[in-house]
Amino acid sequence: MTDTMDQALFAAAEAVRAKAHAPYSRFTVGAAILADDGKIYAGCNIENAAYPVGNCAEASAIAAMIAGGARRIKRIYVTGPGSAPVTPCGGCRQRIREFADLDVEVISHGVDGTALVTTLEKLLPYSFGPEYLPK
């Protein structure tokens, strides 16, 4: 992976994070996916007054990817406030699992800190996925 691509993913995640609807937590999150069509798809968190109905940034980015016609996640970047890396929540790890191979790199970045680079397999060990279901 080139530094240029990582810079583009970081920039896309930060640009969409600025559009987050997070009036309740005030914790804005951006996610940017490099997809199998070579394009970047981004999404932010969208909270709701009925709290459990809110969407995470990763779910929004996946929705953009699917709506854009791409099918697979090749790399995913998540950015948020502070210095601690913003890692995907448990539900989003499973959402990513649907569309990514286990060795796909997940980069988590608190904008004031350094990036954590890990893989889907490390974030979601012994996971259940589409291949477990009968065709």
Q: For binding to ligand THU (CB under 6 A), which residues are involved?
A: 22, 25, 27, 29, 45, 47, 54, 56-58, 78, 86, 88-89, 92
Question: Which two tokens mark 51?
Answer: 């709290």
**Catalytic site includes residue 105:** no
Whole-angstrom CA distances from 86 to 43, 49, 89, 127, 131 are: 15, 23, 9, 21, 28
What distance in Å separates the CA atoms of residue 35 and residue 74, rounded to the nearest whole number?
5
Beta bridge partners of 100: 73
Nearer to ligand THU, 26 or 135 (CB): 26
Handedness of CA 55, 31, 42, 37 (dihedral sign): negative
Rounded to a whole number of angstroms, the minimum distance from the CB of residue 59 to ligand THU is: 8
DSSP letter at 18 equals T
Nearer to ligand THU, 51 or 132 (CB): 51
Instruction: Exactly one of 58, 98, 121, 131 is catalytic; name it.
Output: 58
Rounded to a whole number of angstroms, the minimum distance from the CB of residue 44 to ligand THU is: 7
DSSP letter at 131 equals G
Nearer to ligand THU, 7 or 25 (CB): 25
Rounded to a whole number of angstroms, the minimum distance from the CB of residue 2 to ligand THU is: 25
Catalytic residue set: 58
